Structure 1
Amino acid sequence: MSNIQNCFNQPVGLPIADWQPRPLPERLIMEGRFCRLEPLNESQHTADLWQAWKTAEDQRGWTYLSCGPFHSEADYSAYLKTAAQSADPMHYAVINLDSNQAEGTIALMRIDAPNGAIEVGFVVFSPLLQRTVQATEAHFLLMKYAFETLGYRRYEWKCDSLNAPSRRAAQRLGFTFEGQFRQAGVYKGRTRDTAWFSIIDSEWPQVKDAFEAWLAPKNLQQGVQQKSLAALREERGQQ
């Protein structure tokens, strides 16, 4: 990290001119080419999401989440109702524009407006949404909102250190691994070491450029990528 010397010859961080606490996320719609993020609404989204989760072969999709699994639509609806009322985490439904159905949810959470730090979490993507262009675009839309509309400086991803798919997803999306916090939490009756990842505002332009190149029609021909997101970032000098 760059620094300067204060009047005592101590290294201190660079000043930030006219810094102000950032706005809080709002319940608004974010529209992309392949998906749309809508504020989570239990009455609007329960049926779609429940049907999407019924396509799962088993309950493994809930292993590393603090919520679920749910064994009835009523229980799931009750969870969604509580989640929809929360301001932190603030949950959004991910709508597949091909089907116009909700197929997963995602949230902004641990919102630190004074310091401009925010986390993406509660990434609860059904099998219909996992490993799709809609899933990637959902992350892009939320990052863009955090960095460009709200003006946050730091965008975080945290997961159980044993959750290999989540770790791979973070790195694919352009996050930098920062380290592991040992015994950082307890959930579902077990201990959790937490892996930390982040993107900061100075990195966002290159991350954004790679996302836009990946999502472009030239790269997604008949829904098949010509170059991976990682390859496009590497071309732009981002590890």
Structure 2
Amino acid sequence: MPIATDPPAPLGTLLPHWQPPPPPSAEAGLGGQWCRLLPALAARDADALFAAHAEDAAGAVWTYLPFGPFAAPADYAAWLAQACQAPDERHYTIVDAQGQALGCAAYLRIQPRAGAIEIGNLAFSPRLQRTTAASEALILLIRHAFALGYRRVEWKCNALNAPSRAAAARLGFTFEGIFRQATVIKGRNRDTAWYSIIDREWPALEAAYAAWLDPANFDAAGCQRRRLSALTAAALKAS
């Protein structure tokens, strides 16, 4: 009589050619049509970033961030200098076409062995918010991550942060769920909303980004003809 055996345990997709990608360079910036991302330097950027954020009199940009607000440029510089020392992070200063520093962004939780990388620490000044340059800055980070060979780009935010969650959806990130009581920020509970883009979705989203950034997509006043959210939704549906 044959001996009964359990069926083989299910396994994930075999990745015979997988190689961990390199971490993003600490020295190289990223260039676009409306903005550039420069590797952050506290001595060069802190004064300009502090001044740009001072235009936000209510300090709304800091509401959901684990850092800020800062009382003086020196405080901003001290935080930025320390942040730039984190081995699994890369911090960037976002400058506009005129070279004005208007915000910052970062790669966080850089995990080459897993092929995963997070975009976060987004602090956009009033002059950068809701601009083409702001969207392009995020697109540049996503594009560069996949160009390096990452399989997964993550976006995480406070589950109460409606603008951040809307931005993730607009860019084509897929909502994955809520991590309840994930951490404590500034003495308050934070439930964290998780989003991602994975490599099989990237070709269609890359085409959507290119179509949106095409100068022909903007009229003489700089208003978009086709919304990014519509282009990314169609791309995900087709991918």
The TM-score with structure 1 as length reference comes to 0.92
Q: Which moved more, 1:229-238 or 1:18-27?
A: 229-238
Inter-partner Cα distance in structure 1 for 2:109 and 2:88:
7
Which residue is 1:232 aligned to?
231
How many residues get paired?
231
1:140 partnered with 2:122: no
Which residue is 1:116 aligned to?
115
* Deviation by residue 1:133-180 (Cα, 9 ceiling, x = unmatched): 0111001111111001x1000000001101111100100011000000
Which residue is 1:156 aligned to?
154
Name whichever structure is richer in strand by fraction: 1
Give the aligned residue type for 2:125: S
Inter-partner Cα distance in structure 1 for 2:45 and 2:90:
15
Which residue is 2:215 aligned to?
217
Inter-partner Cα distance in structure 2 for 1:232 and 1:166:
19
Cα 1:202/1:78, change in 2 over 3 Å: same
Give the drift of 1:9. 3.2
Inter-partner Cα distance in structure 1 for 2:89 and 2:233:
32
Task: Name the SS of the counterpart of 1:13 in structure 2.
Answer: coil
- Unaligned residue ranges in structure 2 (runs of 5+): 1-5
Q: Is the 8 A contact 1:206 1:238 kept in 2?
A: no
1:47 partnered with 2:50: no
Task: Name the SS of the counterpart of 2:178 in structure 1.
Answer: strand
Which residue is 2:91 aligned to?
91
Q: Which moved more, 1:222-231 or 1:84-93?
A: 84-93
Inter-partner Cα distance in structure 2 for 1:182 and 1:235:
31
Inter-partner Cα distance in structure 2 for 1:184 and 1:11:
30
Which residue is 1:74 aligned to?
74
Larger radius of gyration: 2
Task: Name the SS of the counterpart of 1:177 in structure 2.
Answer: strand
Give the aligned residue type for 1:152: Y
Which residue is 1:194 aligned to?
192
Inter-partner Cα distance in structure 1 for 2:219 and 2:175:
31
Give the aligned residue type for 2:227: S
* Deviation by residue 1:53-110 (Cα, 9 ceiling, x = unmatched): 111121121010000111112211211222233332210111101x211100100011
Give the aligned residue type for 1:228: R
Q: What is the root-mean-square deviation in Å for CA atoms of aligned residues?
A: 1.5
- Unaligned residue ranges in structure 1 (runs of 5+): 1-6
Which residue is 1:205 aligned to?
203
Give the drift of 1:237. 5.2
Q: Percent identity?
A: 48
* Deviation by residue 1:183-209 (Cα, 9 ceiling, x = unmatched): 110110011110000000000111111
